Amino acid sequence: MGQLVSDVTKVLDYNNSKKNAENERQKILSQIAADEKTKTNLIKKVLAEQRAKYGANGNSGNGLTENAVLKRLRDETAQPYDEKKKTNLEKISNIKTKKPNILKSWLSKIDKIAG
């Protein structure tokens, strides 16, 4: 009877840890999505400020290519978010639950009884 209780406890613990791991994954994924939105808004804000500065100085910005300016802005504003995203993805890959092997547990108990 004690072995049965132990096995049921292992299964219930596994189910709880599986739910906790999934909740943790979802929390990290929602954080990644929020960071992406913040990063996009930051890039738009910096670009708007840059355009306003050029316009206020009377520069048309014709000497600069738009792609080069956008690339520089993305590189400057996106780097911290990209590093955080990489760290969060590593955290997701490290979240694991170990499924209990009840059959192996039963067999080891039989070996103890028979031996």
Angle of helix 66-94 versus helix 2-56 axis, rounded to 10: 170
pTM recorded for the entire structure: 0.54
pLDDT at 62 over 60: no
Select from 76, 92, 84 the least CA-distant residue to 36. 84
The pLDDT confidence band at residue 26, using thresholds 50, 70 and 90, is: very high
Encode pLDDT of 37-47 as tens digits: 888 888 788 77
- Dist. CA 110–CA 115, nearest whole Å: 8
Domain residue spans of the chain: 2-114
The contacts found for 71-77 with CB under 8 angstroms, 24 or more apart, are 73/43, 73/46, 73/47, 74/43, 76/46, 77/39, 77/42, 77/43, 77/46
